[in-house]
Amino acid sequence: MKILILGSTGMLGSECKDILSQEHEVIAPDKKELDIISWDMVIQNLQEISPDVVLNCVGFTDVDACETEDFKVRKINVEGPRNLAQGSARFECKLIHISSDYVFDGQKMIPQPYFEDDTANPLSAYGKSKMESETAVRENSPNHVIVRTAWLYGINGSNFIKSIVNQGIQENKVFRVVDDQVGSPTWANRLAFQIRELLHRNARGTYHATSEGYCTRFECAKYVLKKLGIKASIEPCSMKDYEGLAVRPANCLLENRLLKNQGMRLVLCLLAVLYTLSPYDLFPDFIIGWGWIDDLAIRYRFEEGHYQKREQEQTSGGPREQESSKKTAYAVLGVGRDASPEEIKQAFRRLANKYHPDKVSHMGDEFRELAERRFKEIQEAYQKLK
């Protein structure tokens, strides 16, 4: 299957690119090559690439900025998806479009969730743009999937959890976090696997795909900081106290009803027992992409069983296994396979210095243990490529 991914450098798009490329031919042009707001570029690329599937992960997601940048938000969030929908229909390919919980008003009594067929009633300019994008997709693309998700977090792009950690590591700072908005933090990596499953099942229609269970943003922040060993002072506050331009829904809960009914729910139950779960169960990539801990767990975020399989490949010794081992070593050091010996050495020095035991001695036990594993892996990778 040939899949055209738009927004492939973003939080969800990058995960989809990594996961889908394992089984399919993935084409991921940048904005200069394909800007979705340009009808001519959309048509030209669809004609030249002839994809089976178009996955749209592009979006203007700054909720407050959407209130003042109407022209930009309409171009990116409404006209762009309409172009893709019309183009996909012309060239008879499936369109997968990512939408948001913000299409709802959040007025339901917590913990009552929103279902796929509930009436949209957005409160903000961002929510209205996502609602209109859904309408554009439904009206113009007969073969489409709309995936609504919420509180997404991952390696790339900005998100709530990264923001909390970045604020938490600033010394002598007290910050406030909203305690009257509830939702389900959803791991972008797992959502990408869910999208893959929707593709394999040839699904059509509108689906909700978020993690199971819920928490307030304050509960989420407190849990993450505690598990990371970050001693920060945080205080709960109301959404009324939050200095933002956009009105936000209080209830962001989405029920994954169709995924469950059709037997293809892959998003995890992350928040059912908030304080008893391991941090690796709740936030499997919680230490990725945050400044001084930016790629600490990059090799430990595989699907179930994949890590053990990789270990077996590295130790079995055959030509194919040796090649796989070298490929992994390049990934561990964050360099391409065409990297020069000097580039490999520089990458090793940078990472080894970052994760040297002396550099992480002040962190919590969980951090130090994972950092030690990472440091050992960096050393082993460098030995394979010397």
Q: Rounded distance, CA 347 to CA 331, Å?
A: 11
Which of 114, 126, 223, 355 does the annotation list as catalytic?
Answer: 126
149 shares a domain with 54: yes
336 shares a domain with 272: no
Assess whether 126 carries a catalytic annotation: yes
| CATH at 116 | 3.40.50.720
342 shares a domain with 271: no
* pLDDT value of position 206: 98
In single-letter form, the type of residue at position 49 comes to: I
260 shares a domain with 380: no
Domain that holds residue 333: 328-385
Q: Which of 271, 273, 285, 270 is nearest to 370 (CA)?
A: 285
Which helix H or strand E contains 183, and what residues bound it? strand 182-183
State pTM to two decimals.
0.72
238 located within any domain:
no
What is each CA distance from 320 to 151, 327, 385, in whole angstroms? 40, 11, 16
What residues in the chain have per-residue pLDDT under 50?
270-317, 320-321
* pLDDT value of position 344: 86
DSSP state of 303: P
Kindly state the tokens that stand for 346.
Answer: 């520089």
211 shares a domain with 335: no
92 shares a domain with 190: yes
Q: How many structural domains compose the chain?
A: 2
Q: Helices 306-316 and 319-333 sit at what angle, rounded to 10 degrees?
A: 120
57 located within any domain:
yes
What is each CA distance from 36 to 57, 71, 76, 81, 196, in whole angstroms? 11, 15, 7, 7, 22
* pLDDT value of position 130: 98
Contact, 229 vs 371, CB < 8 A? no
Kindly state the tokens that stand for 69.
Answer: 């940048």
199 shares a domain with 107: yes
371 shares a domain with 268: no
261 shares a domain with 362: no
226 located within any domain:
no
Contact, 226 vs 219, CB < 8 A? no
Contact, 184 vs 253, CB < 8 A? yes
What are the DSSP E strand ranges found in the chain? Answer: 2-6, 25-27, 53-56, 94-100, 144-149, 152-153, 174-178, 182-183, 186-187, 205-208, 215-216, 233-237
300 located within any domain:
no
* pLDDT value of position 328: 66
269 shares a domain with 350: no
Kindly state the tokens that stand for 14.
Answer: 């990058």
265 shares a domain with 123: yes
346 shares a domain with 268: no
